[in-house]
Amino acid sequence: MYTAKKGRYETMSYRKCGKSGLKLPAVSLGLWHNFGSNASYDNMKELCFTAFDNGITHFDLANNYGPEAGSAEENFGRILKKDLMSHRDELIISSKAGYDMWDGPYGKGGSRKYLIASLDQSLMRMGIPYVDIFYHHCMDSETPLEESMGALASIVQSGKALYVGLSNYNGETMEKAASILSELHCPFVINQNRYSIFDRTIEKNGLKMSAERFGKGIIAFSPLAQGMLTDRYLHGIPEDSRIRTDGRFLKEEALTDARMKKICALKDLAEQRGQTLAQMALNWVVKDSAVTSVLIGASKPSQIEENVKMLGGSPFTEEELKKIDEISEG
């Protein structure tokens, strides 16, 4: 029987999602990997317990997380029911819909039918009556934006989500969506996007600037660039690494000599700061108030414990930030 650690909130910092009243931990746990049907259930439990014991209150899911699609929500639902339900009001649970989930024309996109049906399925898998945040997972050019945003508003009105978010949107489309949701009095509070030292897309497509201007939070996924911004690949490719076990998102050819040179240079800078490369990379993502939280994934509880230590890192100097830019862009 799991007993939560006392003092778990003492070392974690919590940030507001833009101008809303909702706070997220600076570090959140993503269940994109390592919670599917091919993973160890006992390890999943330890990942969740270690996260919560370290003040991580936010657990991020999506309808298609697995493999198989839906299995991450099912497994998290089991953990929640058996060990964490007494702490439900201390947790932020999010899910999403947008990418392929089931066969046929109604199993993806942004239609009202798909978004509402998908959330109903997610709630059944997790065994809860509502999620704290529900995201539209991706832009859909085939569906009017008004329809997708109207569905999100209806979901909040039905009590099945407390807040809504947008994921993988660009700045221009996010601004249009924000205006619609404001007219509908729907609490849109956060954007979820890829962001790391190696991936500055949200700076280039206007999302980061627009989120700040509209008072919306940002939660960054893949802050470690699928493990490249860690010590994981400094001495070759481990057999249990994501490249070897799941090559969909990080392929061996991404680790070019030029990329490895950058990783080594960043590692040297991190050591000068008294941090691991992963800690510095996470610190970089949350260095300013525009980013509410950083989403980490983990295959081992020790990785969570290491990553939350980034909270004790010293602020970056202008010289360090310039050096990071030079390395990543060089």
Mean per-residue pLDDT pooled into runs of 10, the chain (330 residues): 96 97 98 96 98 98 98 98 98 98 98 98 98 99 98 99 99 98 98 98 98 98 94 68 57 79 96 96 96 97 96 95 95
What pLDDT score was predicted for residue 256?
A: 85
What sign results for the dihedral spanned by CA atoms 15, 270, 301, 40? positive
The secondary element (H helix, E strand) that includes residue 321 is helix 318-329
Domain 14-255+276-314 has CATH 3.20.20.100: yes
What pLDDT score was predicted for residue 233?
A: 80
In the block, tokens 């003492």 appear at: 10
What pLDDT score was predicted for residue 244?
A: 47
7-30: b or e for each residue (b if 16 or more CB lie within 10 Å)?
Answer: ebeeeeeebebbebebbbbbbbbb
What pLDDT score was predicted for residue 232?
A: 82
Q: How far apart are CA 110 and CA 275, in angstroms?
A: 42
Q: How far apart are CA 276 and CA 107, in angstroms?
A: 42
Backbone φ and ψ of 166, nearest 5°? -125, 140
